Structure 1
Amino acid sequence: MSHNSALAWRVWRLRPWNSNPLMRASDRWEALFRLLAVAVMLLAVPVAAAVGTATYSSSAERISVENAAKTEVPATVLTEPKQTVAAGPAQAAHFEAQIQWKRDGDFGKGTIEVRRDTKVGSTVHTWLGPDGLPGDPPQKPASAVTNGIGTGVALLIGVGFALLSLLWCVSQVLDRLHALRWESELRGLGRPIGT
């Protein structure tokens, strides 16, 4: 008999409806909890897929609406770049400068992040949000895919962790009950010393 078939036979013998009289009731309950955990995990897969798809759809719609409200405009640098964040071991230094732009005949001013070597009077391109102030560039549509997949995987990991924790707790309680039963049975077998 191969190792795989022996393992499959041992797993089959642990089923809760096994007619073996030597199988304890607590072992049957533990096997039943394990089967329920597998069933819940299998049911969690399509639920996680549905939640991930819904997250993707809402993220894609939100990104599309936000990107449609942003406009790229050329702007003129008014001040020398000023360091706002010092360089560290894990990050580069950040510099900001004031800029001025013209949009629909109106001038606007703001502060944006620029490169260190940006010169006063040079032209940079910036993105304006719906409020007319400089903001972040448009998000890539691929980030909606990342949000959807991340949500689905996080849900599966959370369900799996919760089930493993529950199974561990059940196993610990049953092991403690087994130990107490063994201890009481062993006390009943032995005679007190001196008798």
Structure 2
Amino acid sequence: MSHNCSLPWRVWRMRPWNTNPLMRASDRWESVLRVLAVVLLLLAVPVAAAVGTETYTRSADHISVANASKTTVHATVLTVPKEIQPAGPVQPARFESQVQWQRDDGNLATGTIEIRHDTKAGDTVQIWVGPDGLVTDPPRQPEMAMWDGVGTGVALLMGAGFGVLALLWCVAQLLERLHAVRWEAELRGLGRPIGT
């Protein structure tokens, strides 16, 4: 007979209701805790999916509302591009210029936007303006809502997994310490003092 048992067989031997008299009470409690940890992790999957779906829905609604209030207008570049961030090892240099455009009420508005380095004063560029008629960021892509939802769900699931693993590790360390103290006490009781 082989002395190496397979993993499923070893797991089956560690079940809390095992009738083996050599299994300590602490081993049974540790087994119960492991079963509860697996149940908690299985319950965390639908909870993470529900939270991720809710985050996706809220983010999609927010993106849709924000994008609906933005419009594009043509603006005239007033100044030559000025470097605002030098080129680095992984990012290109960034430039900005002042631009001027006509608002819905007929008044002229000016603002500063990020622009390409080869743009010249007098060029016409397309910019995004918000409901207040001021420069705003371009609309977010609707696909970003999906990444918000997936990221939230995965983060929640990973947090639950790390929390359960940390709890199991702490309990295992505590039980190992208690077993070591008990073994030491039993070994001291078996040995005779020197000289007797």
Please report the TM-score for the alignment, with normalisation by the length of structure 2.
0.96
Query: Where do residues 64-83 of structure 1 align in structure 2 (5 Å cutoff)?
Result: 64-83=64-83
Q: Hey, what does 2:96 align to over in structure 1? A: 96
Instruction: Please give the alpha-carbon distance, in whole angstroms, between the structure 2 residues aligned to 1:67 and 1:161.
Output: 37
Q: What is the CA-CA distance between 1:103 and the residue it aligns to?
A: 2.8
Identity %: 68
Query: Where do residues 154-165 of structure 1 align in structure 2 (5 Å cutoff)?
Result: 154-165=155-166
Q: Hey, what does 1:31 align to over in structure 2? A: 31
Q: Deviations over 1:96-143 (max 9, x none)?
A: 000001132221110000011100000110000122111110000000
- Alpha carbons of 1:5 and 1:23: their partners in 2 closer, same or farther (altered >3 Å)? closer
Q: Hey, what does 1:147 align to over in structure 2? A: 148
Q: What is the CA-CA distance between 1:5 and the residue it aligns to?
A: 7.6
Instruction: Please give the alpha-carbon distance, in whole angstroms, between the structure 2 residues aligned to 1:73 and 1:33.
Output: 62
Length, aligned pairs only: 195
Instruction: Please give the alpha-carbon distance, in whole angstroms, between the structure 1 residues aligned to 2:39 and 2:66.
Output: 41
Q: Deviations over 1:159-182 (max 9, x none)?
A: 000000000000000000000000
Q: Amino acid of the residue matched to residue 127 of structure 1? A: W
Q: What is the CA-CA distance between 1:9 and the residue it aligns to?
A: 1.5
Q: Hey, what does 2:195 align to over in structure 1? A: 194
Please report the TM-score for the alignment, with normalisation by the length of structure 1.
0.96
- For structure 2, list consecutive stretches of 5 or more residues without a partner in the other structure: none
Q: Amino acid of the residue matched to residue 133 of structure 1? A: L
Instruction: Please give the alpha-carbon distance, in whole angstroms, between the structure 1 residues aligned to 2:155 and 2:10.
Output: 33
Q: Amino acid of the residue matched to residue 50 of structure 1? A: A
Secondary structure at 1:45's aligned position in 2? helix
Q: Hey, what does 2:60 align to over in structure 1? A: 60
Secondary structure at 1:52's aligned position in 2? helix
